[in-house]
Amino acid sequence: MKGGFALLAVLGYFITQARERIVEVFVPEAGYGGEDPVEFLFVSGVLGWAILVFFGLLFVFVLLFYISWRMHTFRITAEVVEVRSGVIFRVNRRARLDRIQGINIARPLFPRIFGAARLEINQAGNDANVKLEYLASGAADALRREILRLASGTRTEAVAVATATATATATATANATAVAAADVARADVARTNVASADVARADGARSDGARSDDRRSVDGRSDVSHSDVPRAVATRSLVDRRLGEFLVPELDPDAAEPTSVVKLSVGRLLGSIILSTGTFVLIGVTLTIIIVSIFAREALFGLIGFVPAVLGFGSVYVRRFTKSLRYTVAGTPDGVRVGFGLLSTTNETLPPGRIHSIAISQSIFWRPLGWWEVRVNRAGQSARHGAAGQQNTTILPVGNQAEVLRVLALMLPELAEGHSDAVRLIGQGLAARPTADDAYVTSPRRARPLRWFSQRRNGFAFAPEAVLLRRGAIWRSLVIVPQARVQSVSVRQGPLLRALRLASVHLHTVAGPIVAQLGALDRDDALEFFAHAETAAVLGSASDTTHRWRSAG
Amino acid sequence: MSDRLELPAVTWRPISAKYLIAEFLGLLVTLLVALTLGVALIFTGWDAAPWILGVAVAVVLLYASLTPRRVRAIGYQLRDDDLLFRRGILFRRIVAVPYGRMQLVDINRGPLLRTLGLSDLRLVTAAASTGVAIPGLPEAEAEELRDHLVALAESRRAGI
């Protein structure tokens, strides 16, 4: 099983770069004559040589890229994904399938034009990601499905694994794939290799572009829709296909049930960005400077110095806006899929049980509109950033309560409808004021000096399978930690808390933007929380099967 | 005193009393450094120097006087499903780590601890904030505990 790496993207980039570089070499000389470089070359009679050198270099670079592309191979077994790369410095990296934290497919604008995609398998740990750079666009999706299918533990029969060396000709690929036990997904991979071979031919690499027709069996489980798409597409011309891939909706309509999709509307995105904290800080600072300048004229110069900052803010806003366009959150059988981007697109699938904690938060500026932000802690950190510098820990940049609940249901099905207790708890967690039947254990009245406004909100509750921590009155947030993901629990008390007979509790999860900590609880409540959360963590991790999420029937 | 964090059902296993020696030696070094710096300052003829020296020495001595209690407060206990760890008097912290969550167990031995026959044991989970480090265990106990914990972790491991 192998994928073709679309070299063309790299090559195309290289060509533009290389031309600039060569021009640069000649520019200083051209400067003497005051002529443009090409003319200079023509006049001095070395144009022929220059062209020769240019194509010679180009050939060498193409060759080098081609070799490095040929050396970049991968294989998937029932246990691991293995990638080998490098010509002089060989790199061999294996990733265990049951430790996959998420799979990310990025299509930056340029490779996307050439129908290429970058696939990244996130593993827990620093710089532990496995990257497959530049697969054919369709192959990347098929490959992700296949990896997730293997990782989920669905397969009942042992799958024979084909180890195919990377070969540019599709014939060899087809042969290699024929060795493998053929199923639909695999046939897809073979087919998309044809596409990548096309790409290779387009840039001059020799390829006979043979067809692989080794589709043998279609097992009943696979949906036919996605396997038919490549065939239909293959009959069209190369340009048509590229255009088709470019114009295809960011979220493949077959990939998820429409009911599970949460989309971000442009207006709300714009609103959320405008109503961000940064904007208010900006307005505040500007106003301060203006007011001060009424009394002291010199301060007006501060305002001038402030202009670049405003421009900077503006560009950040624009970038965040364009990158978050077409934001979708959808539930697929193999986890939550988050996708975004207009020109450069990125989408990521998080298998179940890979989310270590969830924070739903609302700043005071968003409150009148009822908007919330959903962020998560994850063990794997993708090198690709999320929408405009926001780490990809933000699952939903902005959404109303109904959407938040839908996203929550995708991430933690235990908290979805049908579990009325959990839904009620979440509702109370997001509500402005604790109701009479509030199920949260909150801070006692004597905690007022430490929690001026939020004393009645500051509290915890145990839902089935998860712990809920509710915090903040002005800056509201609700932290949800799945029991199975709790690493350890601590309770602590300093002299101030001790004087008030209080204590704080902390659920340790993997590092991320969310800290599941709750301060100023009654000492006995804290100890009870400690005992209960610890038991829950032990039970949760013992019954957890999400590392092979579909294996346990 | 009843306001303090206590788990009544737990009897804590203490660390070695010899760890106190290591703590005191460490404090002695701090004291010597403070004294040297203080004396050097006095020689510069700065008026406030003796005061600063006095305060520094007083702080170190106060800390030293509390050290025996502090060391006694460090304790751990192996329960059925998790390891409990407690430390601190003024700033008390109790952590529980389920066995299945341990990613690795570390034993550290500095030169001073080695001469005393002690080891530090550190637990690492996927969460950086767990921060369980049991100092000053007798070497044999530390190794036995490590092997025990690794075996337990292996039998209960489940993902991250």
Q: Which range (A182-191, A206-215, A492-501) has the least confidence? A: A206-215
pLDDT in the model for residue B75: 92
Whether B149 and B123 have beta carbons less than 8 Å apart is answered as yes
pLDDT digits (tens, 9 = 90+) for A339-353: 887 777 888 888 888
CA distance A192 to A320: 33
Contact A493/B127, CB-based, under 8 Å? Answer: no
Contact B95/A488, CB-based, under 8 Å? Answer: yes
Contact B5/A527, CB-based, under 8 Å? Answer: yes
Contact A542/B158, CB-based, under 8 Å? Answer: yes
CA distance A445 to A456: 8
Q: Is A505 on the interface with B (CB under 8 A)?
A: no
Burial class (CB in 10 A: 0-12, 13-18, 19+), A212: buried
Residues of B in contact with A484 (CB under 8 A): 158
Confidence check on the interface: ipTM exceeds 0.90, yes or no: no
pLDDT in the model for residue A240: 66
Residues of B in contact with A492 (CB under 8 A): 5, 91-94
A521 to chain B, minimum CA–CA distance in Å?
12
B62 to chain A, minimum CA–CA distance in Å?
17
pLDDT band at A161 (very low <50, low <70, confident <90, very high): very low
Query: Collapsing DSSP states into helix, strand and coil, what is residue A348?
Result: strand
Higher-pLDDT residue of A44 and A552 is: A44
Q: Which residue of A has its CA nearest to B97?
A: A488
pLDDT in the model for residue A244: 64
Residues of A in contact with B82 (CB under 8 A): 534, 538
Residues of B in contact with A503 (CB under 8 A): 5
Of B3, B126, B129, the CB nearest to A498: B3
pLDDT in the model for residue B3: 74
pLDDT digits (tens, 9 = 90+) for A424-466: 888 888 887 777 788 899 999 999 988 888 888 899 999 888 8
Query: Collapsing DSSP states into helix, strand and coil, what is residue B3?
Result: coil
A101 to chain B, minimum CA–CA distance in Å?
10
Contact A488/B126, CB-based, under 8 Å? Answer: no
Of A124, A487, A494, the CB nearest to B101: A487
Whether A209 and A170 have beta carbons less than 8 Å apart is answered as yes
pLDDT in the model for residue A226: 39
pLDDT score of B28 more than 90: yes
A382 to chain B, minimum CA–CA distance in Å?
17
* Distant-in-sequence contacts of A528-533, Cβ < 8 A, 24+ apart: A529/A441, A529/A460, A529/A491, A529/A505, A530/A489, A530/A490, A530/A491, A530/A505, A530/B94, A530/B96, A532/A462, A533/A462, A533/A467, A533/A483, A533/A486, A533/A489, A533/A505, A533/A507
- At A21, list the tokens: 């570089």
Higher-pLDDT residue of B11 and A434 is: B11
Residues of A in contact with B86 (CB under 8 A): none
B74 to chain A, minimum CA–CA distance in Å?
14
Q: Is A503 on the interface with B (CB under 8 A)?
A: yes
Contact A511/B130, CB-based, under 8 Å? Answer: no
Contact A515/B129, CB-based, under 8 Å? Answer: yes
Q: Which helix (H) or strand (E) holds A463?
A: strand A459-463
B124 to chain A, minimum CA–CA distance in Å?
10
Q: Which residues contact A128 (CB under 8 A, 6 or more apart)?
A: A95, A122, A380
Best mutation target among A354, A488, A532, A538 (most B Cβ atoms within 10 Å) is A488
Q: Which residue of A has its CA nearest to B98?
A: A538
How many DSSP H helices and E strands does chain B contain?
Answer: 4, 7
Q: Is A446 on the interface with B (CB under 8 A)?
A: no
Q: Is A508 on the interface with B (CB under 8 A)?
A: yes
Contact B159/A493, CB-based, under 8 Å? Answer: no
Domain ranges of chain A: 1-248, 265-324, 352-548
CA distance B99 to B79: 10
Q: Which range (A22-26, A134-138, A186-190, A228-232) has the least confidence? A: A186-190
Residues of A in contact with B77 (CB under 8 A): none
pLDDT digits (tens, 9 = 90+) for A299-319: 666 667 677 777 887 888 887
Residues of A in contact with B156 (CB under 8 A): 541-542
Mean per-residue pLDDT over chain A, rounded: 71
pLDDT score of A30 more than 60: no
Best mutation target among B79, B87, B92, B129 (most A Cβ atoms within 10 Å) is B129
Q: Which residue of A has its CA nearest to B3?
A: A501
Contact A353/B159, CB-based, under 8 Å? Answer: yes
Sign of CA dihedral A53, A59, A64, A69: positive
Q: Which residue of B has its CA nearest to A526?
A: B5
Greatest Cα pair distance, chain A, in angstroms, is 91
pLDDT score of A335 more than 70: yes
Write the DSSP assignment of A3-47 as a string of letters. --B-HHHHHHHHHHHHHHHHHHHHHHHHHHHTS-HHHHHHHHT-H
Of A379, A494, A541, the CB nearest to B91: A494
Residues of B in contact with A485 (CB under 8 A): 160
Whether A165 and A176 have beta carbons less than 8 Å apart is answered as yes
